[in-house]
Structure 1
Amino acid sequence: MQPTKGKGSRWFELRRWDFWSWVTAAVYLFLFAFIVYPLFSLLLNSFFNDEGLFSLENYANFVKLKYFYSALWNSLKVSALTTVFAVLIGVPLAYVTTRYNVKCKGLIQILVIMSLLSPPFIGAYSWILMLGNNGFLTRFFHEIGIPFTSVYGWKGIVFVFTLQFYPHIYLYVSGALKTIDTSLEEAAESLGRSGFARLRTVTLPLIFPTLSAGALMVFMASFADFGTPMLLGQGFKVLPILAYEQFISEMGGNPAMASTLSVILIVCSTSILFLQRYFVSRKNYTMTGLRTPKVQSLRPAMQWLLTGCALLVACVSMIPQATVIVTSFIKTKGPVFHPGFSLNSYKEILFRVPKAIMNTYSFSFISIVIMVVMGMLVAYVLVRRKSKLTAALDGLIMIPYVMPGTVLGISMIIAFNKPPVVLTGTWVILVVAYVVRKLPYTIRSSTAILHQLDRSVEEASISLGVPPMKTFFKTTGRLMAPGVASGAILSWVTTINELSSTIVLYYGATATISVTIYSEVFTSNYGTGAALASILSVTTLISLIIANKLSKKGLQV
């Protein structure tokens, strides 16, 4: 009788599960299937040599061979320099626009955000058109006698990364400077501290957690990026490129070594994340925030000077988008541009690669629908059903945050390239990769909205006899929708621009716009590449406008 009682007891416990218990179980199943299992497969694969024997040979080769460990040094060098220069640009720009009455603040912010949302490889492509070996600015410099080689090499990569990623610093620091408690700065001033000394000893230490979070975003983004180093490197290898080349090679790939390099990439990314958290946790940065700073009025001459400087920085970072749009209308034949304007580049892409355009929008749309539904459900579980189980779920969800796209792609091919589940070579694997890679951002925007909603509305609905699931979809979900939609549109923008995971996972029939641009640039078809890049830039602008309108509606709800 005892076993029967045990089964009945278990069945009784199962029947007590509510809708949110099943959601939690389903999300855990999804994460284990598409994050934990691929990562475990990747790690396991890194311990086998070419003969299929268990060995540490791959890790030993990484340590011994300069070809491998120099790529790690190159990645760290480029990422560190990018972070430093991004801070040097982003912090002054944020300080000027938040503390002083400079003009055109709205325009500056729009330009900065637009430059952030554009994919880095489009920026690299644009600077090739301007400062490449045959770029029009390169030719101009040579004509007036200024010695200039080209934008290629590690210096060019740092330059493009800096202009692409400094908006992270600007946005993070702007938010912190608007909420800082000015009484601490005033106390320093009363003690005779000069303006720069107050900034260095009071203001910057107070915003250090926020600044370090922005710096971490810059470092991680530049450390994981694939497209820009691939286009500009010309022999300068970074770790994501080396992992890709080891996995997909004309001479026959080495998946085991690619797995080893991918594991090292994840270890480095995770270490940087924990290092940032360690430095932030060492000190207490709390303040009352009762006296937020007032915007200081400047004399007209200084006001126009700072406005000009801020606009100059924002406009320079928008040059890549302007360049691709203009050059997409110039007559071209392969790599050579001819005088005059035409729509030939657009006609050519509509004739040659219409499927890539359709793939981009259809795959991204499917991914966003899944992300929005999952994001809202998971956010509710994390915010309203707090427990050790949901805390662990939150940690699992953030794993893709430290995974470069190239690593995610390699891990998914290793995991799903053989029975019982074969996804390699299908569009499904691209959609799954997009969802896994972008889901953390959708969940974060959903949890932020949910924290602002009062529980009393849904409690009243449940008390009237409406089931929890129905209450969520009819009440809570509707209240969350505007804010979630604006966050989802930003995820949509990054999804349509995704290159690093797509280039590993796609095959001919599932090529997207980003992969096609990459291919067009490498075959020197600059006109068609510019036309495709313009489509992405215009889509990004329209999406940003829609997100802005939705966020304003969300504030009114």
Structure 2
Amino acid sequence: MKLGKKNKFNTWNGLTIIILVFFAVFIIFPLFLVLKKSMIDTQTGEFTFTYISKFFERKFYWVTLMNSFKVTVVSTFLSVAIGLPIAYLMRRVKVKGSKIIEILIIISYISPPFIGAYAWIQLLGRSGVITSFFNNTLGLEFEGIYGFSGIVLVLTLQSFPLIYIYISGALKNLDNSLNEAAESLGYSNIQRFFKIIIPLIIPTILASSLLVFMRVIADFGTPMLIGEGYRTIPVLIYTQFMSEVGGDDGFAAALCAIFIVVTLVLFLIQRMVARHYSYSMSALKPMITEKSTGMKNILSHGFVYLTVLLAILPQLVVIFTSFLKTEGGQVYTGGFSFDNYKNILFGKNLSVILNTYKMGLMAIIIIIVFGILIAYLTVRKRNVITSILDTISMFPFIIPGSVLGIAFLFAFSDKPLAWSGTAFIMVMSFAIRRMPYTIRSSTAIIGQISPSIEEAAISLGASETKTFVKVMVPMMMPGVMAGAIMSWITVISELSSSIILYTNNTQTLTVSVYTEVIRGNYGNASAYSTILTLTSIISLLVFFKLTGKKEVSV
């Protein structure tokens, strides 16, 4: 349904312009200021490349970028190396408890990465349980999980579930007759896996790898907690900006600009490669699970169970330690108590928990409204303006949270848009960051609704607007709400932008977990983490209830 030649300026054109203005204010304007500040001397106001050249001239800075690449590439590769075989085994072999395993994998994914980092510190930190056992019992000199290996471990275990979710969905649409034909020609299981299965799901592997890559390279909490001397770009941006808030912030802006360019280039490269391998397939004969025996059965179960245990272990650790007695909130003294929960629920202001829910819900409302409108405009009302809108709406996907937070402070600290420090700016940062996912899911839903349904309503006398409100929105709503619940889970887990934008009045659960860990108050951190984890699990159960599914598909 394209815009007609007559009456070109109508309700839909007006909505498109309003949404474009919204994105101009909250995306284009802040990013423009970042670029401007990166090339304007804060003392003289003159144009300069000093800040950008400073990054490349000093080894300390550009090595940090290399560190980010190393962590991201290795974590993405390992995530694929783990997620791909698990997805294949779960679709090919009858694994006992497969439904529970799938739920545990999803739970491990929806938990924030920095909580995993904090949990692994308790296990493999210098004073961790496993570290103490190695050093005291086995006589080793293990110094802990810190540095490159620790960051990679945490991010890999937290990211492979996303690979699993994507590939598991792709394997559903795989026509198994190709696999059987290869078997009849004498191909072994391993040969069929590498020569038939993998080539057929290359587009899915690339798409999921991009999501993991973008998520890992932008992660702030994990390297900040366990990186120590191994710094990554998000940590460098944060430390440079926080130390320069009262003075020259040009270098922080230059770091943001460089990071945006890097992520944009990587995103475009992936899109080009994915387009090259793009094709579709219908599962005329879907892959079915078969009961396995012998060593193959043992190895399959062992690999799946061990990996899932490691992935879910951080959540189990924080829940368990949240009930342990502590001395001053820092040292576990043994025994169980509810003291940690008493501290955060009664000893402190409940605003931290209430802020998370209130601001999260407000962000989700914005995401739903804009997601539906943008998806409808870009699919049903496609023209030059809506195409521009479609492109701009994807910008937040490639903007790291720390960069968005700094950009918002640049843009909204002075009148007439002096919103920094308010709940409003926190809500907008949540909504902007997570909106692309809901837009994509809503776009897919609209694509499944035949235009003839709208045409029938219009032929019966309904206006386009009434048809949209009365017909399209109700048909879209089940899928949109399911997507909104998954967006909600990521919103309440947001840290990288929140840690820059928050004040005492707008502090959230994720910020509280981070600050309590930094202060060494592990008991309180565990209690906050447990509340956040349980909220995510309950949200996931609501997702299953609304959709009637027992798994998450993307």
TM-score range, shorter chain: over 0.9
TM-score w.r.t. the length of structure 1 is 0.93
Measured in 2, the distance between the counterparts of 1:525 and 1:181 equals 53
Measured in 1, the distance between the counterparts of 2:507 and 2:120 equals 24
Measured in 1, the distance between the counterparts of 2:303 and 2:498 equals 38
Measured in 2, the distance between the counterparts of 1:231 and 1:254 equals 26
Corresponding letter in the other structure for 1:384: R
Displacement of 1:308 in angstroms is 3.6
Corresponding letter in the other structure for 1:339: G
Partner of 1:129: 122
Match of 2:59 among 66, 88, 100: 66
Secondary structure at the aligned position of 1:422 is classed as: coil
Give yes or no for contact 2:99–2:550 (8 Å, CA) kept in 1.
no
Residue correspondence of structure 1 range 57-136 to structure 2 within 5 A:
57-136=50-129
Structure 1 pair 304–200 and aligned structure 2 pair: CA distance change class (3 A): closer
Match of 1:39 among 27, 31, 38: 31
Give yes or no for contact 1:483–1:554 (8 Å, CA) kept in 2.
no
Displacement of 1:223 in angstroms is 0.1
Corresponding letter in the other structure for 1:335: Q
Instruction: State, as a whole percentage, how many aligned pairs show the same letter.
Output: 43
Measured in 2, the distance between the counterparts of 1:187 and 1:325 equals 49
Q: Does 1:474 align with 2:466?
A: no
Corresponding letter in the other structure for 1:82: S
Partner of 1:367: 363
Corresponding letter in the other structure for 1:37: F
Partner of 2:187: 193
Secondary structure at the aligned position of 1:332 is classed as: strand
Structure 1 pair 126–283 and aligned structure 2 pair: CA distance change class (3 A): closer
Measured in 2, the distance between the counterparts of 1:100 and 1:41 equals 54
Structure 1 pair 292–553 and aligned structure 2 pair: CA distance change class (3 A): closer
Partner of 1:152: 146
Structure 1 pair 249–202 and aligned structure 2 pair: CA distance change class (3 A): same
Structure 1 pair 517–353 and aligned structure 2 pair: CA distance change class (3 A): farther
Measured in 2, the distance between the counterparts of 1:73 and 1:231 equals 19
Deviations 1:467-526, CA, capped at 9 Å, x for gaps: 222222222211211111111011111111100000111122111111111110000000
Match of 1:48 among 37, 40, 45: 40
Structure 1 pair 186–516 and aligned structure 2 pair: CA distance change class (3 A): same
Displacement of 1:462 in angstroms is 2.2
Residue correspondence of structure 1 range 113-512 to structure 2 within 5 A:
113-145=106-138, 146-249=140-243, 252=246, 254-283=248-277, 285-287=279-281, 289-299=283-293, 302-303=296-297, 305-333=299-327, 334-350=329-345, 351-512=347-508
Give yes or no for contact 1:246–1:253 (8 Å, CA) kept in 2.
no
Secondary structure at the aligned position of 2:243 is classed as: coil
Q: Does 1:29 align with 2:21?
A: yes
Secondary structure at the aligned position of 1:508 is classed as: coil
Measured in 1, the distance between the counterparts of 2:46 and 2:37 equals 10
Give yes or no for contact 2:172–2:283 (8 Å, CA) kept in 1.
no
Give yes or no for contact 2:67–2:232 (8 Å, CA) kept in 1.
yes
Corresponding letter in the other structure for 2:41: N
- Which moves more between the two structures, 205-214 or 457-466? 457-466
Secondary structure at the aligned position of 2:41 is classed as: coil
- Which moves more between the two structures, 231-240 or 299-308? 299-308
Displacement of 1:282 in angstroms is 3.6
Measured in 2, the distance between the counterparts of 1:302 and 1:190 equals 21
Measured in 1, the distance between the counterparts of 2:163 and 2:424 equals 35
Secondary structure at the aligned position of 1:540 is classed as: helix
Structure 1 pair 285–250 and aligned structure 2 pair: CA distance change class (3 A): closer
Structure 1, gaps ≥5 residues long: 1-12
Corresponding letter in the other structure for 1:276: Q
Give yes or no for contact 2:122–2:129 (8 Å, CA) kept in 1.
yes
Structure 1 pair 322–509 and aligned structure 2 pair: CA distance change class (3 A): same
Measured in 1, the distance between the counterparts of 2:336 and 2:108 equals 26
Secondary structure at the aligned position of 1:338 is classed as: strand
Secondary structure at the aligned position of 2:510 is classed as: helix
Structure 1 pair 283–442 and aligned structure 2 pair: CA distance change class (3 A): closer
Displacement of 1:49 in angstroms is 2.7
Structure 1 pair 242–116 and aligned structure 2 pair: CA distance change class (3 A): same
Structure 2, gaps ≥5 residues long: none
Measured in 2, the distance between the counterparts of 1:464 and 1:165 equals 50
Give yes or no for contact 2:202–2:277 (8 Å, CA) kept in 1.
no
Displacement of 1:118 in angstroms is 0.3
Displacement of 1:21 in angstroms is 1.9
Displacement of 1:534 in angstroms is 0.4
Secondary structure at the aligned position of 2:334 is classed as: strand
Secondary structure at the aligned position of 2:333 is classed as: strand
Displacement of 1:230 in angstroms is 0.5
Secondary structure at the aligned position of 1:331 is classed as: strand
Deviations 1:212-262, CA, capped at 9 Å, x for gaps: 111111111110000011101112211011111111117955421111111
Q: Does 1:546 align with 2:542?
A: yes
Measured in 2, the distance between the counterparts of 1:446 and 1:278 equals 23
- Which moves more between the two structures, 187-196 or 92-101? 187-196
Give yes or no for contact 1:517–1:529 (8 Å, CA) kept in 2.
yes
- Which moves more between the two structures, 340-349 or 47-56? 47-56
Deviations 1:366-395, CA, capped at 9 Å, x for gaps: 111111111112111122112232222111
Give yes or no for contact 1:19–1:468 (8 Å, CA) kept in 2.
no
Measured in 2, the distance between the counterparts of 1:307 and 1:327 equals 29
Displacement of 1:14 in angstroms is 11
